Structure 1
């Protein structure tokens, strides 16, 4: 079964200690759960197994024209001027740097399937199994799992490579998607 590893929203503004959200509760969870180093190891393991890697980024034009200013999620992003597509904050964390063959999927909403070319690329490449992880569990991870499941992909979440602003939110999120995916520790993935 042909697979891919989707690295979800692992961007500087969200996970780097100097990033807007990286300075807050989400960043604290990323650091305490060692998400960056675990994700880097998972990426290396996937590549070693010949599994494609795709980076999904929530990112916007400099003027945030794609962000809904009335959204509880995207309004503050536009107001605070973060997650700009071509700026440091919108880039993938350096320790997880994409390689030349990796996919770069830019999205403007929570789900990586909404108004992007992701599904087209997955179908074209004959992908049947999606491994995924990232931040935050209650947003992009849940959306990815549910949307991939409904598109008949086999979905595996690397639980120890995901984080939310609190441990409780992460646990609740993993519980709510348990019936739509398989959850594994990254050490058990890509075997």
Structure 2
């Protein structure tokens, strides 16, 4: 016998919500099904950037944390065993440990945008596969996507494997969102854009690794899709030369959005999440 899906639970006003988020949901009562979305009062914060002071609505924004996974940031992960500097890939950790709770407390949503390839890699083209497997300095074939490294923790960046997990230094919250990507850009061949739009998100703040690869590719595509984009430069890192990072900052400033810092954002978030009292309590 086919099991019926239970109807949505009613909200405090007795209405049933049909949708992924109150900002984008329909509202149903016994009398009417309303397609009118309920407006959200904004929660604005101001952030100085390289070019302007911008104001963003925390409640319509998402913090995109890119690739802070064991295979990229752990000393026994895939990248470390390839000889990639962990000093670079672990650099965002202390910044994010301070930013994440402040962002959540202010009402912002967190999206963990992680590499997560099919075990059979059937949707990865030759270029993607070759760049991961290219021979090392001794001419030996490298370890590619979904393959095991010499110190074997399972297939690299396959969902469910140790390497694809977010590093333990950055605890995830129950209502955080996780999306797996299969390319440098987090918007290709997956559900990320649909999820963000159903959450009513219009602004994306980018953090994680690597600044010049997955972070920048995802930020570019986000801008092409119409999102407002902010690169938090002190919450990002890359083992590439410094001039590469400078070029990314230049391109984001010039074409794709804004470059700011978590250091400047955190105090603004704390102010935004503190209740204001317009009048003193009557002592009577």
Q: What's 1:96 paired with?
A: 170
Provide the rounded CA distance (Å) in 2 between the counterparts of 1:70 and 1:130. 28
Q: Per-residue deviation at 1:22?
A: 3.5
Q: What's 2:70 paired with?
A: 12
Please give the TM-score of this superposition, normalised by the length of structure 2: 0.61
Please give the TM-score of this superposition, normalised by the length of structure 1: 0.89
Q: Unaligned stretches of 5+ in structure 1?
A: none
Backbone CA RMSD of aligned residues: 2.0
Q: What's 1:29 paired with?
A: 88
SS, match of residue 173 in structure 1: helix
With over 3 angstroms needed to count, the CA separation of the structure-2 counterparts of 1:125 and 1:82, relative to structure 1, is same
Provide the rounded CA distance (Å) in 2 between the counterparts of 1:16 and 1:158. 22
Provide the rounded CA distance (Å) in 2 between the counterparts of 1:70 and 1:153. 28
Per-residue CA deviation, residues 3-44 of structure 1 (Å, 9 max, x unaligned), is: 11010111110011221213533422134xx31111121111
Q: What's 1:59 paired with?
A: 116
Say if 1:110 and 1:140, in contact at 8 Å, map to a contact too. yes
Aligned residues: 189
Say if 1:22 and 1:28, in contact at 8 Å, map to a contact too. no
Greater relative contact order (Cα 8 A, min sep 6): structure 1 or 2? Answer: 1
> Which structure has the greater CA radius of gyration?
2
Q: How does 1:1-191 map to 2 (within 5 A)?
A: 1=57, 2-22=60-80, 24-31=83-90, 34-71=91-128, 72-75=130-133, 76-79=144-147, 81-168=155-242, 169-179=244-254, 180-189=256-265, 191=268
